[in-house]
Each structure stands twice: as structure tokens, then as C-alpha cells.
Amino acid sequence: MILCQNVAELKNSVAKFKQEGKSIGLVPTMGALHEGHASLIKASHAENDITIVSVFVNPTQFGPNEDYAAYPRTLEKDCTVAQQAGADIVFAPKKEDLYPHEDMTWVEVTGDITKVLCGRSRPIHFRGVTTVITKLFNLAQPDRAYFGLKDAQQTQVLQRMVEDLFFNVELRIMPIVREADGLAKSSRNVYLSPQERKAALILSRSLKHAHDLYMQGERNTAVLLQAVTKMIESEPLSNIDYIEMYRLPGLLSVDETISGKVLLAVAVKFGTTRLIDNVVLGDE
């Protein structure tokens, strides 16, 4: 596996792969790799000749009071995880490589799709994501790109961008990988104190409860949202950002009664750590 730390080097490798007619899978990450990331890398390795994993803590998707500076940076360990999962290249550019000019060119998906859920409390977040992913798509020229359903809104926003801008790439969306006790794996879990870590289990438990109710035939949107809200509110260490439901695809508003596929998504703070989790109902 090659560690590639600048744009020119990556471009050379990609040009060579293209010349050889090799298919390329891209797995964009911010590093601190865990089994969730590894599942994406494995999927790419199984479906493509070459797998490129980008490791880049993208400054433009963090708000001024968010955790950009504190975000865990563990490149050496990331290379081991990526290699073991089947990566051929880890692309870990410096900030100046991806953002060479102070004045920015932005790629922005507008409308409710970027304004609801995380877009409300993180207003500049998705503009940062779509901008950096555009750069990575142009550099890596992937046939397929791999994203986790953990960031469900991100997958919807990126799908919209790919459609609107006619990117020649297939987005592959992979299921959420969880700890044995249900907590969704996240690079941010390391911030949690032991008490917060225990309290955070309420997210997967409440979503599973909603899923169980749905499977038993409950289709009332308010009842399902109430059930999740009640459980999360009963956890004293939780501080709710949102508990909401939207239709899939496209994150359109839901009706009183659910029909078709919907996303039930939550964002909750435990101490200073904000965690997200979700379940898709109507997918069975």
C-alpha cells in the first residue's frame, strides 16, 4: 500500500491506473479509522481493482465552535487499518494541497435537503462536504465511491450533487457498523467519558424500539417520534439537538402516516460530544 501525501503524486498514480484500464473505488474519510470505515474499504476492495482511501480532516465542514482542532488525527494507525481492509493508496493531503487559495470555490447543494437535520445546527457543514468531495472525485476519478448510512443526510446530499452535476461515479451506501452493545461506531466516541458512553446507548436502543413498533404495524409519525423522544429524554445526560423523520430519497417532509421509506434520525449531545444515529423504516 502506498501513502500519498500530495496532489501531484495522486494524479500520477490515477493516470497510470486509468491507462491500465483499472476500476477505482474511493473511500473518503476524516481518519481515526474504525470498523465502520473498514467496512467501506472492504466493500470497495471487493468491487474495484484499486481502492483509494482519503484521510483528510476537512476544515470547511466544521463550524467556528466545532471540534476541528480537537478531531483525532492518527495517520499511522489509519494506514494499518486501511491496508488490512484492502486499500491500495491512502491519500492524506495537507490543508494547503486541497485548499491552495484563500478565496474559495464552493460547491453547494441548496434547498431543504441541506437545511433540515444536521443542516440546521451546522449551517455551513454540507457546503464543506460537497466542496471537498468534488475535489476528491476530480482527483481520484473513481468509478464508485463509498459512504456510510451512519451519515444518512450526507449520502442524500451527495446523491443530489452527483445527479445535478452529472458526476460519472456510482455512490455505494453501506450499512451502519455498531459496537457489540449497539452504539454506532464513530471517530467521536473517543471523546465520551465512561458515563456518557453508557448513556449514549439510549440512541440505538430508542431507534430499535421505534423499528420494533414499526414492524408491529405502527405507522403514525407522531407516535414513533414520541416514543424515541420519551426514551432519549429519560436519559439525564442527553441533550437533544433533533429527533426527526423524513421521506427517502430526498429528505422530503413526512405525512401524518408513514408510507414508503423514511429516515428516522437523531442528533444528541452527551457532554460536549454530539452523536448522530438513525434507522431507515420501510426498507424491509
Chain contacts with ligand AMP (rule: CB under 6 A): 29-30, 36-37, 39-40, 147-148, 150-151, 174, 176-177, 184-187
- What the block records as the C-alpha cell of 83 is 491496508
Residue 198: which residues within 8 A CB-CB, separation 6 or more?
A: none
CA distance 241 to 117: 9
- Is 45 an active-site residue? no
- Give least dist CB 181 to ligand AMP, A: 13
- Give least dist CB 71 to ligand AMP, A: 9
User: Cβ closer to ligand AMP: 185 or 197?
Assistant: 185
DSSP single-letter state for residue 88: S
- Look at residue 62 and give its three-state secondary structure: coil
User: Cβ closer to ligand AMP: 185 or 219?
Assistant: 185
User: Cβ closer to ligand AMP: 185 or 269?
Assistant: 185
Residue indicated by cell numbers 456518557 = 196
- What the block records as the C-alpha cell of 184 is 454506532
- Give least dist CB 111 to ligand AMP, A: 21
Radius of gyration of the chain (CA): 19
User: Cβ closer to ligand AMP: 53 or 231?
Assistant: 53
Query: Which one of the listed residues 37, 101, 125, 211 is annotated catalytic?
Result: 37
- What the block records as the C-alpha cell of 185 is 461506531
User: Cβ closer to ligand AMP: 181 or 255?
Assistant: 181
> Is beta strand 24-29 parallel, antiparallel or unpaired with respect to 50-55?
parallel
- Give least dist CB 43 to ligand AMP, A: 10
- Give least dist CB 110 to ligand AMP, A: 22
Order of strands across the sheet that contains 273-281: 252-253, 238-247, 262-270, 273-281
Torsion angle, alpha carbons of 228, 230, 235, 237, to 10: 80
**Which residues in the chain belong to E strands, given as ranges?**
2-4, 24-29, 50-55, 89-91, 144-148, 170-174, 238-247, 252-253, 262-270, 273-281
The set of catalytic residues is: 37
